[in-house]
């Protein structure tokens, strides 16, 4: 555990140093350039691009979590069970259409920039959160629910105090998967003028500069590692809580 924690800390520190002073790493990316090309992307601040990238992913994941968990709660109530097939179809539809296709359809309506990217990430990230929320809520033992009912809890109290806390590890696992998917997929947002790390990758492809491509890809990869390990740690924490309650 200590080695994993130190590894996460090392990745975080290295990423922070690179984003603060990318010029210090010019020597590392220079071999990927040719004909005197710049080794470090300077048309925009890598730190700003990273913060914007994270903000878009966080917003899309938060919106997706609210909608997906809300749907999962709805269809696991007696009054909403008939909507399960429809809800599952809607969640699956988000991944049926590639994000690029969603961007192409959304731009004429929403314009260029962040909005179509948010929509694409929101739709693409619904399925894992919805399915995990369903699985988590379905895994709550009927005996536990009956015990909660016996204490006089209302339906809402049982949901908030018993079902959701016990389902939380599985729900967080779905959110983690969705966030990681969105972290990589968000790069395509730069094709419609969204400010993401895809800007460096696209600039590298246009100018045949592998250094720019590597910078964007490495930062996105480092962010994915940090987000994944952080959410996994939270997931494990609530898993221990669930075990203690049994």
* Closest CA relative to residue 170, chosen from 82, 234, 244, 93: 234
Contacts of 57 (CB under 8 A, 6+ apart): 121, 179, 182, 183, 186
pLDDT at 242 over 70: no
Q: What is the pLDDT of residue 142?
A: 82
Taking the C-alpha atoms of residue 143 and residue 73, their distance in angstroms, rounded to an integer, is 19
Burial 55-90 (b: 16+ CB within 10 A, else e): ebbebbbebbbebbbebbbebbeeeeeeeeeebbeb
pTM of the model: 0.92
Start-to-end CA span in the chain (Å) = 25
Task: For residue 70, give the DSSP letter.
Answer: H
Tell me the CATH class for 2-26+34-245.
Answer: mainly alpha
Task: From residue 84, give the alpha-carbon distance in Å to each of 73, 77, 173, 216.
Answer: 10, 10, 21, 40
- Average pLDDT of every residue of the chain: 90
pLDDT, average across residues 15-42: 93
Q: How many CB atoms lie within 10 A of CB 184?
A: 16
Indicate whether 50 pLDDT > 90.
yes
The more confident residue out of 95 and 63 is 63
Q: How many other C-beta atoms lie within 10 A of the C-beta of residue 35?
A: 6
Q: What is the pLDDT of residue 205?
A: 94
Spans of all domains in the chain: 2-26+34-245
pLDDT for 246 beyond 60: no
């Amino acid at each position: 555990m200590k080695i994993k924690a130190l590894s996460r800390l090392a990745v975080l520190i290295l990423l922070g140093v690179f984003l603060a002073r990318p010029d210090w790493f010019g020597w590392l990316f220079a071999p990927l350039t040719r004909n005197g090309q710049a080794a470090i992307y300077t048309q925009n601040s890598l730190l700003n691009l990273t913060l914007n990238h994270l903000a878009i992913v966080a917003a899309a994941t938060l919106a997706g979590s609210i909608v997906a968990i809300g749907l999962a709660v709805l269809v696991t109530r007696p009054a909403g069970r008939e909507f399960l097939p429809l809800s599952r179809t809607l969640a699956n539809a988000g991944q049926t259409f590639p994000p690029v296709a969603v961007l192409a359809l959304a731009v004429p309506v929403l314009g260029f920039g962040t909005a179509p990217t948010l929509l694409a990430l929101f739709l693409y990230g619904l399925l894992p959160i919805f399915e995990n929320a369903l699985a988590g809520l379905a895994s709550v033992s009927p005996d536990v629910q009956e015990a909660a009912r016996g204490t006089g809890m209302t339906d809402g109290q049982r949901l908030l105090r018993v079902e959701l806390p016990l389902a939380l590890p599985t729900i967080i696992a779905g959110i983690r998967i969705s966030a990681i998917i969105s972290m990589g997929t968000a790069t395509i947002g730069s094709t419609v003028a969204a400010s993401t790390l895809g800007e460096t990758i696209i600039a590298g492809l246009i100018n045949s500069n592998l250094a720019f491509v590597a910078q964007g890809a490495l930062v996105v990869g480092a962010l994915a590692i940090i987000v994944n390990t952080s959410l996994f740690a939270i997931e494990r924490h609530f898993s221990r809580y669930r075990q203690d309650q049994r």
